[in-house]
Amino acid sequence: MDIQSLPLPEPFIRACKNKGITSLYPPQAECVHNGLLEGKNLLISIPTASGKTLLAEMAMWSRIGAGGKCLYIVPLRALAAEKYDEFSKKGVIRVGIATGDFDRTDSYLGDNDIIVATSEKTDSLLRNKTPWLSRITCIILDEVHLIGSENRGATLEMVITKLRYTNPGLQVIGLSATIGNPGQLAEWLDAKLVTSSWRPVDLKQGVYYDGKIRFAGSERPVHAKTKHDDLNLCLDTIEEGGQCLVFVSSRRNAEGFAKKAAGALKAGTPDTRELGRQIRKLRDRDEGNLLADCVEKGAAFHHAGLLRQERAIIEEGFRNGFIEVISATPTLAAGLNLPARRVIIRDYSRFSSGLGMVPIPVGEYHQMAGRAGRPHLDPYGEAVLIAKDAPTVERLFDTFIDAETERIDSQCVDDNSLCAHILSLIATGFASDEQALTEFMNRTFYVHQHPKTRSLPRIISDAIRFLTQAEMIHQSEQTLSATSLGNLVSRLYLNPCTARLILENLKPGKTLTLIGLLHVICVSPDMQRLYLKSADTQMLRTFLFKHNDDLILPLPFEQEEEELWLSGLKTALVLGDWADEISEKQIEERYGIGAGDLYNIVDSGKWLLHATERLVSTHIPELGKTIATLATRVHHGIKAELLPLITLRNIGRVRARTLFNAGYPDPESVAKAGVSRIARLIGEGIARQVIEEISGVKKSGKSGFEAENKPEYKPQKLTDIPGIGPKIAQKLQNEGINTISDLLTADKVSLSNILGSARTEKILAILSELTPETGIKAERNESPLREQKITGQSSWEDFGC
């Protein structure tokens, strides 16, 4: 089928032509025949790299041509960024991206024709009643089979159900890997099912044993260059001019294999050495950098302990053909599109606690195998499993290559996130009584799979009971409504169990310490915890011996709970060290974690501390202040003494520490020191910028030295302060704040309630710069955490719900 003959906007057709795409692949043509461009729902289950993205784009362009707006839902932030780039390149249409870490376009998001978002972000937008969502006329569900994922499937299912509920006539395009029950999923989506195993590059799947790869019907000998089968398979492809992807079961294995491969590759090229340099630059120029050592030779490993930038360099280096082999954990299987001529699935079983080594799902095998063969670049793709003995050869064919893919099952009721979803349904007005909840749930995939279920009413009323007890919803007559707490929890995207855990334990009555607070957050279901190693247990016991009194939660007796408690403590200690300015390298060594892990822990910690502050501030403003301080400390990884400096733009933990140690503990002293002295510490460009900021001078052609002699900025009235106009001033006056000095003595929490926290921060930052000159001392008691008292009691019982 010729693209030019299709009813698609001209710019899109031109863009395709420029990329060399003139006609459709057979499965793509089938989708067009099935109404892709006429707004029909489709579930498309075809192999990776057979043109799913183009199908999505065709559907979206045709909807946009008809005045519509499209939402492209992906499971990973990295994937969102990739699609965003890809769609943006075509020009003409407006593309936006919405993920948790990437919301700069948020305010104008609704103006875009296409919005790329993660499923969680979409859920969050729904909970915050984002108006433009009702104008969406087409959703693309990338990797829709993830609806069966235990962790995150429920969210995706609820998002789909909600959007279809509010937007009648919505076109739904599901893009799925091969699954066992595609018909059932298609039925639920009211979609036509398109399946095909057609691939643009031929894929050969086989098992290696005893010097040969056995494919169905053919064999291929592999030259035994070394005594390692996995390595030989790898070198075989490289000699032939291809690249290799090796999937293994653990990080250590990934690193081990890359080291082995690097040893065999020996030389490396100028390109790989450059990549190595780039990777070295990312860390403190310390001695051993295994990744850089490997990459220099053209081998790399890939897992979640790496930094994002490291992963990006490796992926790009592989795509450009510089890196010849990557050994990876499943990160790469699910993530970006990174094909290679040969994929080696070396470890086909993985540890699962309580179960031992279990074989990976067939679906996952196919996802890995599907990575073999680069369209237009490789003549064919090979996916190879490695057998350790003769009988295993056949077994591997049976369990993976010739096996049926697993079915997917709805996770939306037995998942512990049901409470959160019920709360959000009530808070956003999807349902205002039990009847409506049931009706809504009847539209889920769960009920489609279990049409005769009778347990649903009980499950729903259990959730309602929990939420009522937690004072998140309120029941009068038959009507359910969210309390202000419930609304807050829903909008903060917090698991209700987490919110309850926090509120139960931060009640007044106990001495609150930094580690005690962090510990509460770290045992919540929303925190990603660290795995406990045996050496940790010893370390934690020692810590407990000395600091048991600092903790709020008592050590539980039951073993399972104890493990959660301890791993939460370990995670809390990591956050504590980070906020105590322990160097990243030291933290990584002390807890045996990678830089990427640290980043993730801090990221989650930041989010949960922010949420905690919001939760607590309403009831105990004093405590809210303390938590806000701590949130800032964890955000930047600084001790309390650096708080004044961190408010400056372009000053992070390192520069703030440099300035502080050189005798400039706050913005005023920095300004007084002048550009030349500060420049010696943090470089002239930054120094100039910072001092300009402190003096409140807008960026202009003026030199930084002039800025030093600028007359002091002395506001007289409230409206003299940038950020405060007549309306805001009126609001403040209504609360009894009439003058600048009132503002300075007012406490931050009540200000936040009047102005919102972002504005308050901004205004306080401005005020803090001028206090000495105005003669008013801003005494914002950031009392040390250890002395903070709160009253009440904490209980262990409701821990973790």
- When the beta carbons of 106 and 782 are compared against DNA, the nearer one is 106
Contact 171, 40 (CB under 8 A): yes
Among 29, 728, 776, 801, the residue binding DNA under the rule CB under 7 A is 728
Smallest gap from Cβ 757 to DNA, in A, equals: 4
Site residue total, DNA (CB under 7 A): 74
Element (H or E) spanning 221, and its range?
A: strand 218-221
Contact between 723 and DNA per CB under 7 A: yes
Q: Which is nearer to DNA, 38 or 394 (CB)?
A: 394
Site for DNA in 231-250 (CB under 7 A): 249-250
- Which are the contacts of 286, defined by CB distance < 8 A and separation ≥ 6? 585
> At 619, is the secondary structure helix, strand, or coil?
helix
Tokens for 151? 């962790």
By CB under 7 A, residue 105 contacts DNA: no
Helix boundaries (H) for 167-307 = 182-188, 229-239, 251-265, 270-282, 290-297
- Minimum CB separation of residue 756 from DNA in Å reads 3
Of 9, 335, 652, 772, the residue at the interface with DNA (CB under 7 A) is 335
In the bound complex, what is the minimum distance in angstroms from residue 396's beta carbon to DNA?
A: 14
Question: SS3 for 109?
Answer: helix
List of residues 6+ apart from 91 with CB closer than 8 A? 11, 15
Nearer to DNA, 24 or 306 (CB): 306
- Amino acid letter, residue 165: Y
> Any idea what DSSP says for residue 152?
T
- Among 292, 427, 492, 656, which residue interacts with DNA (rule: CB under 7 A)? 492
From 368-376, 541-549, 738-746, 751-759, span contacting DNA (CB under 7 A): 751-759
CB closer to DNA out of 220 and 606:
606
Judged by CB under 7 A, does residue 350 bind DNA? Answer: yes
**Footprint (CB under 7 A) of DNA, residues 40-99:** 75-78, 99
Decide: is 108 part of the binding site for DNA (CB under 7 A): no
Q: Does 388 bind DNA (CB under 7 A)?
A: yes
Q: Tell me: does residue 588 bind DNA (CB under 7 A).
A: no
Strand partners, 372: 340
CB 558 within 8 A of CB 636: no
Task: Tell how strand 299-302 and strand 342-345 pair up.
Answer: unpaired
Least distance CB 92 / DNA (angstroms): 27
Residue partners of 610: CB distance under 8 A and separation at least 6: 631
Minimum distance of DNA from residue 702's CB (angstroms) = 19
Q: What's the min distance (Å) between Cβ of 506 and DNA?
A: 18
Token pair in block for residue 103: 């919301």
Query: Is residue 321 within the footprint of DNA (CB under 7 A)?
Result: no
Among 341, 491, 570, 688, binds DNA (CB under 7 A): 491
Nearest distance in Å: CB 254, DNA: 8
259 is an interface residue for DNA by CB under 7 A: no
Site for DNA in 617-656 (CB under 7 A): none
Q: How far is the CB of 595 from DNA (least distance, A)?
A: 13
HSE, side-chain direction, 13 A CA sphere, residue 653: 16
Taking the complex as a whole, how short is the minimal distance between the CB of residue 118 and DNA, in angstroms?
4
Pull the structure tokens for residue 427.
């808070």
329 binds DNA (CB under 7 A): yes
Please state, as a whole number, how many other Cβ atoms lie within 10 Å of the Cβ of residue 43. 26
Q: In 3D, which of 728, 755, 734, 743 has the Cα closest to residue 780?
A: 743
**CA dist 143 to 74, 118, 179, 410, 412, Å?**
7, 11, 11, 15, 17
Minimum CB–partner distance for residue 183 and DNA (Å): 26
Instruction: Indicate the residue among 252 and 585 with the shorter CB distance to DNA.
Output: 252
Burial class (CB in 10 A: 0-12, 13-18, 19+), 453: middle
- Tokens 């729904």 belong to which residue? 126
Nearer to DNA, 274 or 293 (CB): 293
Q: Minimum CB separation from DNA for residue 216, in Å? A: 25
Cβ at position 755, least distance to DNA in Å: 7
Of 204 and 251, nearer to DNA (C-beta) is 251
- Quick count: other Cβ atoms within 10 Å of Cβ 128? 13
Q: Are 440 and 425 in contact (CB under 8 A)?
A: yes
In whole angstroms, how close is the CB of 28 to DNA at the nearest point?
28
Question: Interaction with DNA in 657-676: which residues (CB under 7 A)?
Answer: none
**Which is closer to DNA, CB of 730 or CB of 793?**
730
Instruction: Work out whether 112 is an interface residue with DNA (CB under 7 A).
Output: no
The stretch among 114-122, 135-143, 202-210, 506-514 that binds DNA (CB under 7 A) is: 114-122
Among 5, 107, 559, 734, binds DNA (CB under 7 A): 107
- 696 Cβ contact list (under 8 Å, min separation 6): 710, 713, 766, 769
Beta carbons within 8 Å of 648's beta carbon, 6+ residues apart: 667, 670, 690, 693, 694
Least separation in angstroms between residue 534's CB and DNA is: 3
Residue 111 sits in the site that holds DNA (CB under 7 A) = no
Judged by CB under 7 A, which stretch of 26-34, 148-156, 280-288, 337-345 contacts DNA? Answer: 148-156
Choice between 459 and 728, CB closer to DNA: 728
3-state SS track over 656-670: HHHHHHCCCCCHHHH
Residue 534 lies near DNA (rule: CB under 7 A)? yes
Residues 286-315 that bind DNA (CB under 7 A): 303-305
What counts of helices (H) and strands (E) characterise the chain?
37, 19
* Residue 30 or 255 with smaller CB distance to DNA: 255
**Which C-beta is closer to DNA: that of 707 or that of 755?**
755
Q: Per CB under 7 A, which of residues 390..449 are in contact with DNA?
A: none
C-alpha dihedral, 471 to 474 to 475 to 481, nearest 10°: -140
Least distance to DNA, CB of residue 491, Å? 5
Say whether residue 725 binds DNA (CB under 7 A): yes
* Helix, strand or coil, per DSSP, at residue 102: strand
Residue ranges in 580-701 assigned as alpha helix (H): 584-591, 595-619, 621-636, 643-646, 653-661, 667-673, 675-682, 684-694
Cβ nearer to DNA, comparing 109 with 464: 109
Token pair for residue 346? 């070396």
264 vs 456, beta carbon nearer DNA: 264
Residue 255, CA distances (Å) to 37, 242, 248, 286, 300 in order? 47, 21, 10, 18, 8
- Cα–Cα nearest to 552, from 794, 801, 800, 797: 794
Site for DNA in 175-234 (CB under 7 A): none
Should residue 336 be labelled a site residue for DNA when binding is judged by CB under 7 A? Answer: no
Is residue 21 within 8 A of residue 1, CB to CB? The reply is no
DSSP annotation of 225 reads -
Interface pick for DNA out of 35, 110, 180, 256 (rule CB under 7 A): 256
Is residue 610 a contact residue for DNA (CB under 7 A)?
Answer: yes
Residue 582 φ then ψ, to 5°: -65, 140
User: Does residue 148 touch DNA according to CB under 7 A?
Assistant: no
Instruction: Establish if 611 lies at the interface with DNA (CB under 7 A).
Output: yes
Residue 351 touching DNA (CB under 7 A)? yes
Are 634 and 605 spatial neighbours (Cβ–Cβ below 8 Å)? yes
Q: Which of 756, 783, 787, 793 binds DNA (CB under 7 A)?
A: 756
CB 603 within 8 A of CB 636: no
In contact, 755 and 763? CB cutoff 8 Å: yes
Q: Does 28 carry a binding-site annotation?
A: yes
**Under the criterion CB under 7 A, does residue 101 sit at the interface with DNA?**
yes
Determine which residue in the list 592, 683, 685, 792 makes contact with DNA, applying CB under 7 A: 592
Cβ proximity to DNA, 175 vs 488, nearer residue: 488
Binding-site positions read 28
Binding-site positions for ATP read 28
